[in-house]
Amino acid sequence: MLGLTRCLCFIQLLRRDKMSDEETIIPRVDEAVRTLHKRAGLSNDAAMSTYGKLVHSVLSRSQEGERLSDHAVVVAQLRDVLYKVANQYRLQSPSKQSSPELEMLLMATHYQHMLLTCQAQGLKDLAAKCSITLLKYPDVVQADKAFYQAGLMCKTAGDKNLAFMLWNRYEEIGQRGRDKWMAFLHNLRP
pLDDT per residue as tens digits for the range 110-120: 999 999 999 99
Quick one: angle between helices 143-157 and 160-188, nearest 10?
A: 160
Residue 59: partners with Cβ closer than 8 Å, 6 or more residues away: 75, 108, 109, 112, 140, 141
pLDDT at 126 over 90: yes
pLDDT per residue as tens digits for the range 147-171: 999 999 999 999 999 999 998 888 8
Separation CA 56–CA 60 (nearest Å): 6
**Confidence class for position 5, pLDDT limits 50, 70, 90:** low
pLDDT confidence of residue 12: 56
Question: What is the torsional sign of CA 103, 16, 24, 5?
Answer: negative
Higher per-residue confidence, 19 vs 6:
6
pLDDT per residue as tens digits for the range 12-22: 555 544 445 66
What number is the average pLDDT over the span 117-134?
Answer: 96
pLDDT confidence of residue 116: 95
What number is the average pLDDT over the span 114-128?
Answer: 96
Contact 105, 55 (CB under 8 A): yes
Cα dihedral angle (57, 43, 87, 127), rounded to 10 degrees? -10
DSSP state for residue 39 in the 8-state scheme: S
Domain borders along the chain are 2-121, 137-190
pLDDT per residue as tens digits for the range 81-116: 999 988 888 877 667 667 788 899 999 999 999 999
Residue 50: partners with Cβ closer than 8 Å, 6 or more residues away: 7, 8, 11
Separation CA 149–CA 59 (nearest Å): 12
